[in-house]
Amino acid sequence: MVGMAPERAQWNAARFDPDSSSGFYESWFLRANHPSEPRAFWIRYTFFQPRGRPDDAVGELWAVAFERGAPPRAAKAVLPIAHCALSRRGLDIALGEARLQDEASNGEAASGGTRIGWNLAYTSPVEPLLLFPERLYETGFPRAKALVASPSAAFSGVFEVDGKRWDIDGWPGSQNHNWGLQHTDEYAWGQVAGFDDEPDAFLECGVGRVRLGRVWSPRISPLVLRLDGEVHRLNSVWRCLRNRGQVDFYRLDLEARRPGLRIFARFDAVARDFVGLRYADPPGGVRTCLNSKLARCVLRVERRGQPARTLRSTHRAALEIMPTRDDHSIPLLDLPTPG
């Protein structure tokens, strides 16, 4: 296939350098939703190194359970880097006893009175989906990289929250990889792994900007959509600058255009379906991330010469927001943070 991304192993290979003092974070995460009920899980394996302090690098193991009608439950473990391992040839991550490999994941995290464990297998029938043009993954822009190594993944196995067992059987989701020297100062990220009436469609998009001294950069707003076996990439640097993205509590709007095609996506979720997490930033300080895996998405696709199409996901969209303001109503969980 012309334009196919290189193999999944390349895109999952680790970039983390334990000998560098520049500061770095790198994460591989899994997320999936029940096919029909408002339940979801999110698992994140992270390597974190503070700038100028390579000896203080750690591994972080995160897990969150989302279930409508109950507050999200989360657990996190922080391990010395000596107890962690990774591979530069593909996906093989170890954080203590927890392991993430291509098509398999297991682990357990406990904190704040919550214990979450899992033993999962997953498959993905399609090639990786890159949020940015391929060449940008080896450049300094953008400073934070993100991609979907396993889109349209199907998960099976067991996910257990405080002794309550979830039997995972064909839950749709994804396996993702991101890294960078620092977190984007303001961003929102949205993903849908299968719409209600279009289970094979996959949407990945985001909006971000950074501080340049006392001013803000323009927003960049990439969008990639796989629909009816075709991939629409509205993510060149020029398109990212021309696409129109807006972020607010608790919503992401993104309009992307090219000749003959207009795509508009709206993600939103109610406050009770978010969990508030603290992310340590390699240059220093802690950033806030509002995370929901029970969001709603409405997608409108307009193509020249074809009827407009509207796709919906009622509660299986992922929405994450890193705001610059703190006047939201989401409580921040007291989870372990690297020193």
- Dump pLDDT digits (tens) for 297-318: 999 999 999 999 999 999 999 9
Gap between the Cα atoms of 265 and 36, Å rounded: 21
Spatial distance between the Cα atoms of 128 and 149, rounded to a whole number of angstroms: 4
Residues with Cβ within 8 Å of residue 277, at least 6 apart in sequence: 62, 64, 74, 288, 289, 290, 291, 332, 333, 335
Contact 120, 157 (CB under 8 A): yes
pLDDT value of residue 71: 94
Kindly give the pairing relationship between strand 251-258 and strand 244-248.
antiparallel
**What does the radius of gyration of the chain's CA atoms come to, in whole angstroms?**
19
Contact (CB, 8 A) for 248 and 226: no
Average of per-residue pLDDT across 216-237 = 95
Whether 238 shows a pLDDT value over 80: the answer reads yes
* Residues 6 or more apart whose Cβ sits within 8 Å of residue 230: none
Burial class (CB in 10 A: 0-12, 13-18, 19+), 269: buried
Q: What is the pLDDT of residue 337?
A: 76
Instruction: Please list, in sequence order, all residues whose beta carbon lies within 8 angstroms of the beta carbon of residue 150, skipping any fewer than 6 positions away.
Output: 8, 122, 124, 128, 174, 175
The rounded mean pLDDT for the chain is: 94
pLDDT of 52: 96
Report the amino acid identity of residue 52. Answer: G
pLDDT for 338 equals: 73
Q: What are the pLDDT digits (tens) for 91-123?
A: 999 999 999 999 999 999 999 999 999 999 999
In one-letter notation, the amino acid at residue 305 is G
What is the percentage of the chain residues whose pLDDT exceeds 90? 88
pLDDT digits (tens, 9 = 90+) for 72-93: 999 999 999 999 999 999 999 9
pLDDT for position 4: 37
DSSP reduced 3-state for 263: strand
Distances (CA, A) of 110 to 39, 82, 117: 20, 20, 9
Query: What does the pLDDT read at residue 6?
Result: 55
Region 17-41: mean pLDDT is: 96
Is the pLDDT at 2 greater than 60? The verdict is no
Q: Place 179 in a pLDDT band, splitting at 50, 70 and 90.
A: very high
For residue 300, give every residue at least 6 positions away whose Cβ sits within 8 Å of its Cβ, in sequence order, or none. Answer: 262, 263, 264, 265, 308, 309, 310, 311
pTM of the complete model = 0.95
Is residue 339 very low, low, confident or very high in pLDDT (cuts 50, 70, 90)? low
pLDDT at 223 over 50: yes
Confidence check: pLDDT of 134 > 60:
yes
Q: Which two tokens stand for residue 248?
A: 């607010």
Q: pLDDT, tens digit, for every residue of 260-278? A: 999 999 999 999 999 999 9
> Above 50 in pLDDT, residue 132?
yes
Min mean pLDDT across 2-16, 127-141, 196-210, 231-245 is at 2-16
Structure tokens at 238: 């020029």
**What pLDDT score was predicted for residue 218?**
92
pLDDT of residue 3: 35
- 196/276 Cα distance (integer angstroms): 27
Burial 59-71 (b: 16+ CB within 10 A, else e): bbbbbbbbbeeee
**Residue 231 pLDDT level (bands cut at 50, 70, 90):** very high
DSSP designation for 199:
T
Distance CA 285, CA 267 (A): 28
DSSP code of residue 134: G
Other CB atoms within a 10 A radius of the CB of residue 303 amount to: 14
Query: In this predicted model, what pLDDT tens digit does every residue of 43-56 receive, in sequence order?
Result: 999 999 999 999 99
pLDDT at 241 exceeding the cut of 90: yes
Please choose, from the candidates 311, 315, 112, the residue with its C-alpha nearest in 3D space to the C-alpha of residue 227: 311
In the predicted structure, residue 141 carries a pLDDT above the cut 90? no
